[in-house]
Amino acid sequence: MSKTSIEWTESTWNPVTGCTKISPGCKNCYAERMAYRLARIEGSGYDAPYPECAFDIQLRFSRLDEPLRWRKPRMIFVCSMGDLFHKDVSNSYIESVFDVMRQAKWHTFQVLTKRAERLEQLGRMLDWPANVWMGVSVETPQYLYRLDHLWRIPARVRFVSFEPLLESLGEINLDSIHWAIVGGESGPMARPIDEAWVIDIRDQCVAAGVPFFFKQWGGKNKKQAGRLLDGRTWDEMPHR
């Protein structure tokens, strides 16, 4: 099982690795940075013919059945090192991933994408088990439209990750959204986050009755920056 330090989940499962940049939140992608680093470590599972290919899309067939071998129920973030709904991931492979999640009904799976249009397109054809939570990433107001596509997905839990939060988002339509995550960008080139942006989202979530999870302030030293907002941590989550 792949343990993780990501605050809002317990484990990761990567049947797909690699991605391409499509919006401002991708600029300093932590997964890309990690893939290039791991490609230089023998036996890491992220070997590539050349280090510069380490973040190319790869369908990891050998990993498909991993959750079926993890007997203890876990919260599992799907494709933390890629995007399941990338155009280079075939429909049939996505269906295979969903089939595994459906079989592994003792786990809760969290799927997150920036490809909201393809999500909606395929969402009509997929069988959505209750243990699959579906989310989209939104980093600036220009990408709030991704919620329009998410609303049409029949997942039991629909969530949004405002990470990395790069601007004030203004008014957000949180209808039919069951969870919101907010976080600042981390890493050597991290862009700043404003406390007022976070508080505004928090207040909208509280008013709408949407569980709010503040992941991190981020920055070059995210551990030092911490997770406190208004003197406390915010770890609200939907019921499993």
User: Is residue 239 in a domain?
Assistant: no
Residue 174 sits in a domain whose CATH number is: 3.20.20
Instruction: With cut-offs at 50, 70 and 90, classify the pLDDT of residue 54.
Output: confident
- In a domain, residue 165? The reply is yes
Q: Name 220's Cβ contacts closer than 8 Å, sequence gap at least 6.
A: 186, 187, 188, 190
CA distance 79 to 93: 13
Q: Is the pLDDT of residue 51 over 70?
A: no
Residues 6+ apart with CB under 8 A from 49: none
CA distance 95 to 158: 19
Q: Pairing mode, if any, of strands 58-59 and 75-78?
A: unpaired
Please give the tally of structural domains in the chain: 1
166 belongs to a structural domain: yes
Residue located via tokens 């990761």: 12
C-alpha to C-alpha distance for 58 and 29, rounded to whole angstroms: 17
Q: What is the DSSP letter of 25?
A: G
The residue range of the domain holding 160 is 2-225
Residue 235 lies in a domain: no
The DSSP letter of residue 71 is -
Tell me the average pLDDT across 156-161: 98
**100 domain residue, yes or no:** yes
Confidence of residue 47 (pLDDT cuts 50, 70, 90): low
pLDDT tier at 39, thresholds 50, 70, 90: confident
Q: Residue 216: its pLDDT value, please? A: 98
